[in-house]
Amino acid sequence: MNQLDKSVSAVFLAITLATTLGCAATPTRESTGQYIDDAAITAKVKAAILDRPTLKVLDIHVQTVRGVVQLWGTVGTQAQIDEAGNVAKGVAGVKSVTNDMKRM
């Protein structure tokens, strides 16, 4: 193997490692796949909440990190807070729900 082949191999290895490590999860950062999964869960939870006639409230915010859904915002009643939490728990892929919603 000549010097040029070794250099090309080294560059290819470096690029492969950087790409692999760049998409890997860390304790403080999601992997690319996990980010996409969480975005899908967030969309499903939002759709499920908007599908409920008693929860047609634009002040319910949803975020998902590693399958844990966080709800926050304001609604009119405690029953709506509880219902939003229960709806979120029923969505496929949700590991748990942190319900930080408040009543007006």
pLDDT in tens, 10-64: 555 556 655 555 555 555 566 888 889 999 999 999 999 999 999 977 889 999 9
Q: What is the reported pLDDT for 73? A: 95
Domain covering 30-103 in this structure, CATH number: 3.30.1340
pLDDT in tens, 66-89: 999 999 999 999 999 999 999 999
Q: What is the reported pLDDT for 47? A: 94
Q: What is the reported pLDDT for 32? A: 80
What are the φ and ψ backbone dihedral angles of 61, each rounded to 5 degrees? -110, 145
Q: What is the reported pLDDT for 13? A: 58
